[in-house]
Amino acid sequence: MAMAYKSWLLIIFVIPIHIFWVWHVQKEENYMIDKFGSAYADYMNTIGQFFPRFTVDRENS
């Protein structure tokens, strides 16, 4: 979007925020694995990290 508006200022702000967000989510996921163990790791395999997965789990349906 920043490129469409030719806004370098927007690009300069979005990249660091994106890097921080990815780092923060990974840190939080590691914390949750430490707290809840393999149950959370199994849960992570069924969901997307940032966006929901829209696949059908035919094994459990």
User: What confidence score (pLDDT) does residue 49 get?
Assistant: 87
59: in domain: no
Query: Which pLDDT band holds residue 59 (cuts at 50, 70, 90)?
Result: low
27: in domain: yes
Q: What is the tally of structural domains in the chain? A: 1
User: What confidence score (pLDDT) does residue 28 get?
Assistant: 96
For 44, the enclosing helix (H) or strand (E) is helix 38-44
Per residue in 14-48, pLDDT (tens digit) is 889 999 999 999 999 999 999 999 999 999 988 88
26: in domain: yes
How many whole angstroms separate alpha carbon 53 and alpha carbon 46? Answer: 8
58: in domain: no
**22: which 2 tokens?**
């990815």
User: What confidence score (pLDDT) does residue 54 get?
Assistant: 79
What is the domain range of residue 26?
14-44
37: in domain: yes
